[in-house]
Amino acid sequence: MRIGIHSGPVIAGIIGKKKFAYDIWGDTVNTAARMEQSSEAGKINISETTYKLIQRKFPCTYRGKIAAKNKGEIDMYFVND
């Protein structure tokens, strides 16, 4: 399992006419998907934005700038065990 987390604004809503589903959209969701794709099995990969929010509570390891599809290079971190 791989996990990717990014923090930021999203748009949420309900879609469907007969069967309803709740979903979220936006650049934050897309960036989180890139974090997940760039992660490794058993790791939590986070963006620099999320790192700044959690750095005092969770130890992290800087991975460097990693290329992400349609995003360019993103500073990424692994949350340590």
For 26-58, write each residue's pLDDT tens digit: 999 999 999 999 999 999 999 999 999 999 999
- Token pair 């990717």 is found at 4
* Catalytic residue list contains 17: no
Q: How does 34-48 read in b/e, with b if 16+ C-beta sit within 10 Å?
A: bbbebbeeebbbbbe
- Of 17, 18, 34, 56, the catalytic one is 34
pLDDT of residue 41: 95
Cα–Cα dist 58/38, whole Å: 20
Which residue range(s) make up the domain with 52?
A: 3-79
pLDDT tops 90 at residue 81? no
| Domain total of the chain | 1
Domain with 18 in it: what CATH number?
3.30.70.1230
- Of 18, 56, 69, 71, the catalytic one is 69
Instruction: Compute the mean pLDDT over every residue in the chain, rounded to the nearest whole number.
Output: 95
Token representation of residue 70 = 């349609």
pLDDT of residue 57: 97
